[in-house]
């Protein structure tokens, strides 16, 4: 008795044919689980600040505006500007105003 079994797939692969490319990575799931367990919980006050920033971003979007951060090509410092959705600058923003700092720290970041 014999069976004629058609190979599954679009082409047959010979037993001696090798697969091109690097070998597959082996993932140690136990190690991944241990490293994930070591991550600290995010404090509530940080989550509150993230929520407040998200609300502010939604308010700006409703006004068809956005805050854009860029690196000044001359100084290499981070600068912020308030822009309309089309990209036109409404006004420059001191970083203190953007991040809500109440101290006398720097107005830009190096």
Distance CA 50, CA 108 (A): 21
Helices and strands (DSSP H and E) totals, the chain: 3, 3
Q: With a threshold of 0.75, does the pTM exceed it?
A: no
| Boundaries of every domain in the chain | 65-110
Q: Are 92 and 108 in contact, with CB atoms under 8 Å apart?
A: no
pLDDT tens sequence across 3-53:
455 555 555 555 545 556 666 777 777 777 776 667 778 899 999 999 998
């Amino acid at each position: 008795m014999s069976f004629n079994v058609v190979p599954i797939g679009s082409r047959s692969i010979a037993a001696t044919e090798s697969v091109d490319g690097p070998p597959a990575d082996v993932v140690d799931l136990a190690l991944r689980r241990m490293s994930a367990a070591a991550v600290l919980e995010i404090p509530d006050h940080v989550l509150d600040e993230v929520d407040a920033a998200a609300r502010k971003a939604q308010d700006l979007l409703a006004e068809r505006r956005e805050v854009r951060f860029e690196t000044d090509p001359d100084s290499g410092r981070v600068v912020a500007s308030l822009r309309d959705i089309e990209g036109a600058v409404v006004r420059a923003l001191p970083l203190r105003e953007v991040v809500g700092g109440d101290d006398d720290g720097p107005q830009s970041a190096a």
